[in-house]
Structure formats: structure tokens, C-alpha cells
Amino acid sequence: MKKLLLVALLAVLPGLALAQTAGIQIGTAPSSPGGSSGQVQYNASGLFAGMSGTSWNDTNRALVIGGNSGQIGLSLLNGTNAQTYRVYNTFTDASNGEWGTFDWATAANVLTIGTANNGTGVARNLQFIIGGVSKADYGITLSGAWTFITSVSVASLRTLNINNSNNTNTLWTFANSSANAIFSTGSAAPLMQFAGATASFPAIKRSTTILQARLADDSAYTPFEASTLRTATAFTVATLPAAGSAGRRAYVTDQLTTCAAIGAAPTGGGAVVCPVFDNGTAWVGG
């Protein structure tokens, strides 16, 4: 038996010597975990140490950085201090780079999602994808503008407000190839332009409570065509609005007998429906 143990020891010793020569430590136990239970470990001069402010919640499978939320997933927190999460596109140093940001620090109490840069970094565009397909982007499809690849829906009884910073130019544009409609406040009154903004194109304009057909540059009126035109409001002679806007047309439902002759005042008290015309001074037949 003693001879057998000696032979086994002699067989192992060369391997131990080789391991020492190669710098491999055999039989050295690792140091105990550092810090508090759950803290992420790191190398502190050859010893394990716990990283303050980090923890792994094995029950919820949660990695927490900055505190202990106990929620499922990755949490970044530091009490009531706003936090920032960055994913870099380029990084030269702390003063030169490009990154995507998801933070509460850019604006107080506002969640900011977007791109940022400093120094030699370039401001990059932004894209939203679903299933690998772009659904909306800024600056990619159209430089300096948002593009929604699919339609934009607004829930019932809701308002879609689209505006620019100074509220004096284009508010929204609907486009399909070369045909488009642009709604603009302009310099005088709201104007909806069709296909262009010069006198070669038509537009619709609001002037107080009146809707006007105008040229797209708002320089003059434009012709309006329709198969039929119907006046929606019926008047009696007594309820006609005050005259004074020459060119207005209406109709009355109580002409006494036959319709008033052109230029003649209508007479109420009957049941004949007749057209009337505002000549700028009075309502007359016509």
C-alpha cells in the first residue's frame, strides 16, 4: 500500500510543478463576495467588492442601478434625481459624440426621447419602426420634417392641432404626388391653397364669417363652378338680413303674388317662393 501511494504521488508532482511554472494557482480559494447581499461584484485590486447602488433581485429577475425598485426589468434611479440613459452612435471623448437619449434631465419633469450630440458630433435623424418596417421618421423621408408612412387617425371627438412656432406660415399640408392642399394663416386671414401658392392656383379663404373663393396668393377672387347652387336658409321678406353687401343672393317664401320684378322690392304676406338680390342698398327681385 505504501508503495502504491508513493507511485501515485510521484505521478502527480510533475504536473504540479508544470502548473506553478505556467503561473496557474492550484488550490487557492476565491475571496468571499463583497458588499451587501445582491450587490453587483467587481474586481477591487484582486478581491471581490460590491458595487454601491446596484443590486440583482433574483425573485423578480431585475437588475437595479442606482437604488432598489424591486420591479421586473432594468431600473435606473437615484432617489428624486432625474436620470439619463444614452446609447452612443459615436464617441470620441466626453466633448465629442452622438447618441440616442431617453431621459428626464433634458427638460424638468418631461420625458425626452430622441437624438443628441456635442462637439464634432452630428445631429442625427430619428425613426420609429414596427416589425422592422418604418412607420414614422424625422428627416429621413423628407429633410427637416416629420413623415408618417401610414395614415394618422384621431379618435372620435378629439382635435388634431398642427402648428408652427410663429403661427404665421403653413399649418398643415396634404399631399398626393403633385396635388396638395395647404392651410395657412397668411398675413391677413386663414387660407387653404390647392396645388400651389401663386395666382395660378385656387384657394378658399375665411373673412370673418364669410367663406371666399380666392387665388392662392390672395390677390383676387377666383371663379367658382358647380352643377347647381342651393341657398340653405329660407327667409321671409321681414327676416331678410340687413342689406348693404352688394351681390348677395337669397330667397323668400312669402312673396305676396308673383315674384318681384328685377329691381323691385319684394312684398311679403303670401306663399310664393322667389329669389331676391342685395343691390347694396336694399333687397330686390332678381
Single-letter residue type at 234: A
Query: How many whole angstroms separate alpha carbon 204 and alpha carbon 183?
Result: 9
Query: How many whole angstroms separate alpha carbon 252 and alpha carbon 248?
Result: 13
**Dihedral sign, CA of 260, 245, 242, 225?**
positive
Query: How many whole angstroms separate alpha carbon 7 and alpha carbon 19?
Result: 20
Does the pLDDT value for residue 1 go beyond 50?
A: no
Q: Give the closest residue to 67 by CA, choosing from 53, 81, 52.
A: 53
Average pLDDT over residues 19-36: 60
Average pLDDT over residues 227-250: 92
Q: Report the pLDDT value the prediction gives residue 215, as an integer from 0 to 100.
A: 93
Q: Report the pLDDT value the prediction gives residue 238, as an integer from 0 to 100.
A: 96
Taking only the tens place, the pLDDT of each residue in 73-100 is: 677 888 888 989 999 999 999 999 999 9
- Beta partners for residue 227, in sequence order: none
Q: Give the closest residue to 57 by CA, choosing from 47, 68, 48.
A: 68
- Residue ranges covered by each domain of the chain: 170-215, 237-285
Query: How many whole angstroms separate alpha carbon 285 and alpha carbon 261?
Result: 5
Taking the whole predicted model, whether its pTM rises above 0.75 is answered as no
Q: Report the pLDDT value the prediction gives residue 158, as an integer from 0 to 100.
A: 67
Q: Report the pLDDT value the prediction gives residue 16, as an integer from 0 to 100.
A: 40
Average pLDDT over residues 235-247: 94
Burial of 59 (0-12, 13-18, 19+ CB in 10 A): exposed
> Please, which pLDDT band fits residue 122 given cuts at 50, 70 and 90?
very high
Average pLDDT over residues 126-154: 89
Query: How many whole angstroms separate alpha carbon 31 and alpha carbon 47?
Result: 6
Taking only the tens place, the pLDDT of each residue in 190-236 is: 778 887 788 998 988 888 888 899 998 889 999 989 998 888 899 99
Counting residues of the chain whose pLDDT is more than 70, the rounded percentage is 74
In the chain, what is the greatest distance between 2 CA atoms, to the nearest angstrom? Answer: 144
136 Cβ neighbours under 8 A, 6+ residues apart: 127, 128, 146, 147, 148, 149
